[in-house]
Amino acid sequence: MGELATTAPKPIWRHLYAQVLAAIVVGGLIGHFAPDWGVALKPLGDGFIKLVKLVVAPLVFVTIVTGIAHMRDMAAVGRVAGRALAYFLAVSTLALIVGLVVANVVEPGEGLNVDVAALDSGAVATYVKKAGEGGIVPFLLAIIPDSILSPFTEGNMLQVLFLAISLGAALAIVGAPAAPLLGVLTAAQTGLFRLTALFMAAAPIGAFGAFAFTIGKFGLGAIANLALLIACFYGTSLLFVLIVLGAIARAAGFSILTLIAYLKTELLLVLGTSSSESALPGLMARMERAGCPRTVVGLVVPTGYSFNLDGTNIYMTLAALFIAQACGIDLSLGEQLALLAVAMISSKGAAGVTGAGFITLAATLSVVPSVPVAGMALILGIDRFMSECRALTNFIGNAVACIVVARWEGGIDEAQFAAVFRDRQFGDALPPLPAEQDPD
């Protein structure tokens, strides 16, 4: 098992998290004082996210295949997947309930007295159309790829998971004759992690361009208009992370604050780009460095990106009740519970789609006629600012889920776990490459 590297402290400006933070600040200033320039910088953020997406699918694929193939215990793989899904369902449902309770207590939309007929329903028509394309049956059928290559060309993470789990199980069953292919995939994983490290050097540039665009395009004025809703959502998400996820973390033997400090580089990257996908490779690598088994990391983290969306779930119930309150619609307890039930399903059906939070909200409101879908126009202008909080909460939630499932499996490397969560040996760049660790 490779040991954690200990090096002399580097100057603060050489740490990736410091560079990303500085880039966010400078980008925000440019977006605010020179909005046209900020909007023009959008290609920098888009280009970086495209670089990351280039390696995400193959990296997840080889990580899962090699992890399962070395495990050679299909019952254990099924147990990990079952425990992960059970955890996702429980915590995601709790997030929906938290959003519902806070919306009823704070009532952020009360008193706005919005006329539904005056709202621009055309502004949200695109999201409603995409939401209508969802549903449980199409969602399940879409998990099966049309070809072996289509998951990679289309970037469909659930299809990548399906293919990787199937191939990993096949290689584990075949055993020794599959060793040459397994060796190639292990070498490919090492190369992909190195490629990811090279791409991550551009993270400050990507965060700079993406944040400059956000502020330049939408402006700080959009925040002021619906400040109570934004503050309510950010505050609820913060309390959910610190109290709910904090309690889960403590039960699993680690501190949520230490985990946040450990993931500070990735969290700043998520903040700058408003995309948790941009930090997926780094999260997987850091979970392995923290002592989580490769099989658990490979199964839990990518699956959590589709099924464990705590921030999105808080947003859905909070936003839905905000729209109802703003439009003067008094929802009964039964209607709110129906909204909760629909949100539990739609939050899975629209997973993995670009702008999934807003699309999922449209899918939920389309099924619950009590709340007008046109009311989404009220929050369209601030959705970009909400998406940052959704992505951060989702990201932290998936990190907690990975460690919890690994702890349930009893497979955590306690020495590495203690080095990170007790001795705070965090490191700065991507963690050690897989080839430096014992694959078994």
Tens digit of pLDDT for each residue in 243-252? 999 999 999 9
Q: Round to whole Å and give the CA distance between 375 and 234.
A: 21
pLDDT of residue 133: 53
Indicate the pLDDT class of residue 439, thresholds 50, 70 and 90: very low
Indicate the pLDDT class of residue 434, thresholds 50, 70 and 90: very low
pLDDT at 170 over 70: yes
| CB-based contact 402:165 (threshold 8 Å) | no
Looking at per-residue pLDDT, the higher value among 375 and 166 belongs to: 166
Q: Mean of the per-residue pLDDT values for the chain?
A: 80
pLDDT of residue 97: 92
pLDDT of residue 224: 65
Q: Round to whole Å and give the CA distance between 366 and 370.
A: 9
* Across 124-151, average pLDDT: 67
pLDDT of residue 426: 74
Indicate the pLDDT class of residue 6, thresholds 50, 70 and 90: very low
* Across 333-353, average pLDDT: 70
Q: How many CB atoms lie within 10 A of CB 217?
A: 14
pLDDT of residue 128: 53
pLDDT of residue 392: 92
pLDDT at 316 over 60: yes
For tokens 């519970």, the residue is: 337
Q: Round to whole Å and give the CA distance between 376 and 277.
A: 25
pLDDT at 176 over 50: yes
Indicate the pLDDT class of residue 134, thresholds 50, 70 and 90: low
Amino acid making up residue 207: A
Assign 3-class secondary structure to 43-88: HHHHHHHHHHHHHHHHHHHHHHHHHHHHHCCHHHHHHHHHHHHHHH
Looking at per-residue pLDDT, the higher value among 283 and 377 belongs to: 283
pLDDT of residue 202: 86
pLDDT at 100 over 80: yes
Looking at per-residue pLDDT, the higher value among 235 and 302 belongs to: 235
Looking at per-residue pLDDT, the higher value among 31 and 365 belongs to: 31
Which two tokens mark 118? 């005056």
Q: Which residue, 85, 86, 82, 91, is CA-closest to 310?
A: 91
Task: List, in order of start, the domains of the chain with CATH numbers.
Answer: 12-431 (1.10.3860.10)
Which two tokens mark 99? 């959003």
Using a pLDDT cut of 90, give the percent of the chain over it: 17
pLDDT of residue 398: 94
Q: Which residue, 71, 383, 72, 6, is CA-closest to 229?
A: 383
pLDDT of residue 127: 52
Indicate the pLDDT class of residue 49, thresholds 50, 70 and 90: confident
Between the CA of residue 117 and those of 361, 364, 377, 379, what are the distances in Å? 20, 20, 12, 16
Q: Round to whole Å and give the CA distance between 56 and 264.
A: 20
pLDDT of residue 351: 47
In terms of DSSP H, where are the helices of 226-309? Answer: 227-239, 246-251, 256-262, 264-273, 280-289, 294-307
Please count the residues of the chain.
Answer: 440
Between the CA of residue 81 and those of 24, 218, 383, what are the distances in Å? 37, 40, 32
